[in-house]
Amino acid sequence: MENSWLKATAVARENPDHLVIGSDTVVAYRGQIYGKPRDLDEAIRMLTELNGSRHTVISGVAVVGIHADIEFAFADTTQVMMKTLHHDELSEYVHLTKPLDKAGAYAIQEFGDRIIQSIDGSFNNVMGFPTELFLQKWNHYIVPSECPNWIS
């Protein structure tokens, strides 16, 4: 949530008349946090460590509206079970996708069926934005008259 908060507040300071939504996603496994890999070697290392594991995808979201005096943040978690794959299958996946902009070096929406066995929780959260929980929080914190064009 801290990263999403930092992103949202930085943009909101530059755009005080707008509502700004910041989001950040990480993968957690055995006490380690996996963000975006720096290069393809690190992507393969991450996937090798996550290989055959049940791990957690966490997305933090922050909403900031300076002039509207709106601030709230939350996080959602989804459990992901990764298939057990051979090194050459992981390498092929890395070369099929763009892992450098994805937490944990994978994307469920991008050939995810090759590496993901199952999920317990929000598919959208694993994609990087927990839309279901976002709508619940939005409808809790935002008064419809404040955003007349919003469709809930």
Q: How far apart are the first and last CA of the chain?
A: 23
Q: Look up the CATH architecture of domain 2-137.
A: Alpha-Beta Complex (3.90)
Helix (H) or strand (E) holding 6: helix 2-14
Q: What is the pLDDT of residues 71-100, one digit of tens each?
A: 899 999 999 999 999 999 999 999 999 999
With beta carbons less than 8 A apart as the criterion, state whether 35 and 103 touch: yes
pLDDT band at 147 (very low <50, low <70, confident <90, very high): low
Task: Identify the sign of the CA torsion 50, 115, 38, 11.
Answer: negative
In eight-state DSSP terms, residue 125 is H
Just list the catalytic residues: 24
Read off the pTM: 0.88
| Spatial contact of 61 and 73, defined as CB atoms under 8 Å apart | yes
| Domain boundaries, given as residue ranges, for the chain | 2-137
- pLDDT in the model for residue 138: 87
pLDDT in tens, 26-62: 999 999 999 999 999 999 999 999 999 999 999 999 9
- 14: CB partners within 8 A, 6+ apart: none
